[in-house]
């Protein structure tokens, strides 16, 4: 069930801009704590949903879901404008943005190069303030299941029946918890965002977005750009694409900030820079670092260490430390791909000689 809106704050989203508005920026990839050189990409802004508009000029209502909340914050800025402060206590307790004028994603559904992009600061992890434990998670409810997105990437968790309060903060919607037992939500680095798009007809469309594919924002190192392909939102159709509400949750308790929400189009292909051949000693650990570009497209790095047994995914990550125990000559294959499967991957190979 929806939580009633208590003392809602209204802010207005900007009406969709034309596709002729160009925003040139350099996207810097941040994967597993490693920085990559800027990508030479230009993104076309198709619509600005939120960009720090003042409350008196607004048409978005802010509210919480479960024990979460959403408010305006003037102490943190993004490109000189105020931001949204969102408190989340788990994947089912977070923030709501209700649009007075629904956002039409119809023009972007069939375009594999279109993304809903969020500029955000992930939650800062802090220890609990009392002995009552970490914020309470879901209460009783029937187990939820992971749905599969039709575009090749997992959807978000299904929700169960409403749950009861746990110790710490009140529990929100239940999901997959045995009745009578408290699910303790222990703080950790944010790994996933759960986003729920609600259509004008009331249909809910969910997607789970991994933070490991976030890129660095231009407003400072603490900002991250999270890009979700419009075509990867499970169940979204051009015939039913008017979005009246957006719900945002994180998989860890904490406070996050949203500086901008927009729809961008970026046709940049995925490219990967060559890696030079090299020689190492047997049993020596070597750090392999890859550099790839794809504009705003999330990038996944997959390594195969020996082509002789077929190309497969032996390791993932932009920077990998890997030992070779047996002497000989190896062909290493790196594949950089779009985890949503909407853009063609890029592949590079290099030779490695392992000396005795």
Residue 154: predicted pLDDT: 37
pLDDT, tens only, 202-220? 999 999 999 999 988 765 6
* Contact in structure between 32 and 211 (CB atoms under 8 Å): no
> Is the confidence at residue 47, as pLDDT, over 60?
yes
**Spatial distance between the Cα atoms of 234 and 155, rounded to a whole number of angstroms:** 7
Residue 158: predicted pLDDT: 38
Confidence of residue 39 (pLDDT cuts 50, 70, 90): very low
pLDDT, tens only, 250-293? 999 999 999 999 999 999 999 999 999 999 999 999 999 999 99
> Is the confidence at residue 149, as pLDDT, over 80?
no
Confidence of residue 153 (pLDDT cuts 50, 70, 90): very low
> Is the confidence at residue 123, as pLDDT, over 70?
yes
**Spatial distance between the Cα atoms of 271 and 345, rounded to a whole number of angstroms:** 8
**Spatial distance between the Cα atoms of 351 and 330, rounded to a whole number of angstroms:** 6
Confidence of residue 98 (pLDDT cuts 50, 70, 90): very high
Query: Considering all CA atoms of the chain, what is the largest pairwise distance in Å, rounded to the nearest integer?
Result: 72
Write phi, then psi, for 70 (nearest 5 degrees): -145, 125
Q: What are 86's strand-pairing partners?
A: 70, 256
> Is the confidence at residue 195, as pLDDT, over 60?
yes
* Contact in structure between 34 and 52 (CB atoms under 8 Å): no
- 23-32, 45-54, 80-89, 207-216, range with the lowest pLDDT: 23-32
Check residues 268 and 221 and name the one with the higher pLDDT.
Answer: 268
Residue 220: predicted pLDDT: 63
> Is the confidence at residue 128, as pLDDT, over 80?
no
Residue 59 — left, alpha, or beta (φ > 0 → left; ψ -120 to 50 → alpha)? alpha
Residue 95: predicted pLDDT: 96
Residue 276: predicted pLDDT: 95
pLDDT, tens only, 285-337? 999 999 999 999 999 999 999 999 999 999 999 999 999 999 999 999 999 99
Check residues 139 and 80 and name the one with the higher pLDDT.
Answer: 80
Residue 160: predicted pLDDT: 38
Q: What are 350's strand-pairing partners?
A: 332
Residue 273: predicted pLDDT: 97
């Amino acid at each position: 069930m929806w939580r009633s809106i208590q003392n809602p704050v209204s802010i207005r989203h900007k009406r969709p801009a034309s596709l002729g508005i160009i925003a040139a920026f350099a996207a810097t990839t941040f994967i597993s704590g490693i920085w990559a050189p800027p990508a030479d990409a230009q993104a076309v802004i198709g619509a600005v949903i939120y960009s720090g508009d003042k409350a008196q000029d607004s048409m978005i209502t802010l509210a919480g879901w479960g024990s979460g909340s959403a408010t305006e914050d003037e102490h943190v800025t993004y490109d000189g404008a105020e931001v949204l402060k969102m408190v989340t206590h788990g994947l089912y307790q977070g923030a709501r943005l209700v649009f007075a004028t629904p956002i039409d994603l119809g023009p972007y559904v069939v375009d594999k190069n279109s993304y809903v992009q969020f500029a955000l600061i992930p939650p800062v992890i802090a220890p609990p303030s009392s002995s009552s434990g970490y914020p309470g998670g879901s209460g009783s409810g029937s187990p939820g299941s992971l749905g599969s997105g039709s575009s090749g990437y997992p959807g978000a968790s299904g929700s169960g029946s409403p749950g009861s309060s746990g110790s710490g903060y009140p529990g929100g919607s239940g999901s997959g918890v045995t009745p009578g037992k408290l699910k303790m939500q222990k703080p950790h680095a944010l790994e996933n965002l759960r986003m729920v798009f609600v259509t004008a007809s009331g249909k809910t469309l969910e997607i789970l977005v991994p933070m490991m594919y976030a890129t660095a924002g231009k407003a400072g190192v603490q900002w991250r750009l999270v890009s979700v392909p419009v075509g990867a939102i499970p169940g979204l159709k051009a015939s039913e694409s008017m979005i009246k509400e957006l719900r945002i949750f994180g998989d860890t308790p904490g406070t996050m900030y949203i500086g901008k929400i927009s729809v961008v189009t970026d046709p940049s292909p995925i490219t990967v820079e060559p890696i030079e051949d090299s020689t190492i000693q047997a049993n020596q650990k070597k750090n392999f670092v890859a550099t790839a570009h794809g504009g705003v497209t999330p990038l996944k790095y997959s390594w195969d260490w020996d082509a002789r047994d077929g190309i497969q995914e032996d390791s993932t990550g932009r920077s990998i430390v890997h030992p070779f125990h047996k002497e000989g000559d190896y062909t290493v294959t790196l594949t950089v791909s779009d985890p949503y499967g909407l853009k063609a991957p890029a592949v590079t190979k290099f030779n490695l000689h392992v000396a005795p």
